Amino acid sequence: MATHSRTLIVAAWATGAALCIPALAAPGADGARPGDEAMTCEQIATELAPYVQQMQPNLQALATSQQQQYQQGRQLYEKRKMEHELLMPLATAGALDPTGVSKRAQAAAEMAQAAKEKGENEAMANSPLAKQANAQREQLAAQGQQMQANARLQRLMQLGHQKGCDKK
């Protein structure tokens, strides 16, 4: 089987799994065509290709948004890591200070840091990028729901699963 066909098969099953498309159509159900049982994985992949291509723009857009969110999260993590390291001397001082003044300063600094991080988390969750990614997820889910009603797609998914194409 050609690499391109394998890629189409994997993409089709990944798309189906991501959208929770059940492949439960019965052999005689609408969507079945003569010769279906004799189809090879490559033939199934070829017939699935248009469905994958339909979903590709939405999947790519969501993947791009999620990658950007991941990068923002990594940057925020690194920034917070440095901020927490700056609090370490207060912890050391608190452990050595018998008066407790350093410990109170440490507790106040940690509470301020926690409040700041909470605000940052809320800002990220309400950011234009987060809203965009959520809208893209909803659009992809809606597209998946439309595809669930496609009897031919369901039949192809069932055939591919029965033949083990999703494991190749």
CA distances from 53 to 8, 11, 45, 57, 73 (A): 9, 10, 12, 8, 30
- pLDDT band at 25, cuts 50/70/90? very low
pLDDT tens profile 75-87: 999 999 999 999 9
User: What pLDDT is attached to residue 111?
Assistant: 96
Taking alpha carbons only, the member of 18, 4, 25, 2 closest to residue 160 is 25
pLDDT tens profile 125-144: 999 999 999 999 999 999 99
Task: Return d(Cα 152, Cα 155) in angstroms, integer.
Answer: 5
pLDDT tens profile 108-125: 999 999 999 999 999 999
User: What pLDDT is attached to residue 168?
Assistant: 65
Using the structure block, give the residue that is written with the tokens 């991080």: 117
Give me the residue spans of the domains in the chain. 3-167
Angle value at C-alpha 134, between 130 and 138, nearest 5 degrees: 170
How many helices and strands, by DSSP H and E, does the chain display?
5, 0
